Amino acid sequence: MTFDIFSFHMKKPDDKAAMKNDIAFIKKQLEIAKNRFENESDSDLVDSCIFEINALQAKYRYLLKLAKQKDKAI
């Protein structure tokens, strides 16, 4: 499943491999956003990075919650 970081209209992954890929993708995007935050000097762009990091962390928590639910169902 591919999606852009600002699009929250995600379909729930159907299998474990897709879910792992989605989690890995979000982790990588989070790492990129954190690096951008560390290197940014403009206050408006720092704010933008903070919002992006918060959004990615929420998506990461959501995907982890889905993964835990799938494990319980299996």
What does pTM read for this prediction? 0.77
Does residue 66 contact residue 19 with C-beta atoms inside 8 Å?
Answer: yes
Note every long-range contact of 14-21, with CB atoms under 8 Å and residues 24 or more positions apart, other chains counting: 16/70, 19/63, 19/66, 19/67, 19/70
Determine the Cα–Cα distance for residues 25 and 42; give it in Å rounded to an integer. Answer: 27
| Each residue's pLDDT tens digit, 35-44 | 999 999 999 9
Q: Is the pLDDT confidence value at 49 over 70?
A: yes
